Amino acid sequence: MIGVLGGYGAVGGHAARLLARWGAGRLRIGGRDNVRAKRFVAAHLAGTEAEATAVDVDDAASLAAFVRGCDLVVHCAGPSHRTSERVTFAALMAGADMVDAGGGGRLDRVRTAVGERTALYDAGALPGLSGLLPRWLAAEHFDSVHGLTAYAGVLDRFTETGAHDYLDGVLDGTTEPLAAWRDGARRRGALQRLNGQQLPHFAREVVTLPYLDAEGERLARDLSLTHGNWFTAVDGEHLAAALDAARSLDRADAVAALCRAAALDTAGRSPYVTLLAQLDGTRAGRTVTRTAILRAPGISPLTGAVTAVAALAALRGEVPRGTHRADTALDPRSAVARLRAEPGLCDVTVHDTAISELATIEEGAL
């Protein structure tokens, strides 16, 4: 039995539909509103072994009843930074493995409790896929790498819980603005914010916000990078302003401002996710530069799909026992292949050139 918390939500619903289509096993769809859970099962999982169950993640007895009998618990309810630890301990007490679309910020307390079970965190798009894509590019196209430049751009609305988790990662986590990776260490203030940047596959100019987080640092160490630059590409003046103001606001006010800003920036536009990952290294004795570009039509379907891929890997024993984050525990080749195989989910291309040269080519074509 696979229990999906938040199973009729924007992320959990996509994960549940994919797991059902892949024949992963019986599904238990959970959320606070049992009527919505039943409607979701009837509309999207008819003909499959799926059931709807009301569950309140904040209520210990309700949560224990939901996870009872599960082999795997997939956590897509939010905010994950508040609920992940609670769900993990409930799953472990029930003898179940755990896959969390988020929740990877604080693992120290659960690490020893996991034991011989599997607990996989940050199994979403950002973080998660943002770390897997460069690893996939390195495995497929390089013998060794020394440099990375990556941009992540999302134009989409925020849910309230999504905004909470996003701000937790940006403001309270290991994310350091303006930092970069230089010669085997984090270097503060190495980069600067730039306005009016033109990037390939972005229709408008964007604000690029440099940062270095724990996922980037793991990637830099694992790939033995000498330099690495990561940027958030903000497509919209309202969101950029809301992010600037977030550090000085009460968290509830910052969440509300973020949701309003995203709604204003997306008004009349189609949502998208664009990830750019440029690697510099060697192949067959030659110095090469290649850029992977991933494009998707929305953040929730992509996040749900990555979570489903992680859940399937855990069910098939492809993830080591213990506590892990998805970017290091999943096989990047298998993960990207499964995502690319889903019609309409995302498009991945590789170009034998740098991001800056691709932007110049696009500008010239226009």
Q: Which residues of the chain have pLDDT under 50?
A: 364-366
Count the Cβ atoms, other than its own, within 10 Å of residue 5. Answer: 29
166 close to 154: Cβ distance less than 8 angstroms: no
pLDDT attached to residue 357 = 94
pLDDT attached to residue 67 = 98
Q: Which SS3 state, helix, strand or coil, does residue 17 take?
A: helix
Give strand pairing partners of 101: none
pLDDT attached to residue 362 = 59
pLDDT attached to residue 103 = 84
Each residue of 146-182: pLDDT tens digit?
999 999 999 999 988 889 999 988 886 689 999 999 9
- What is the distance between the alpha carbons of residues 79 and 102, in angstroms, rounded to a whole number? 9
pLDDT attached to residue 366 = 47
pLDDT attached to residue 110 = 76
Question: Structural domains in the chain?
Answer: 2-121 (3.40.50.720), 129-299+332-365 (3.30.360)
pLDDT attached to residue 106 = 64
pLDDT attached to residue 113 = 73
- What is the distance between the alpha carbons of residues 24 and 36, in angstroms, rounded to a whole number? 23
pLDDT attached to residue 153 = 97
Q: How would you classify residue 124: left for phi > 0, otherwise alpha for psi between -120 and 50, otherwise beta?
A: beta
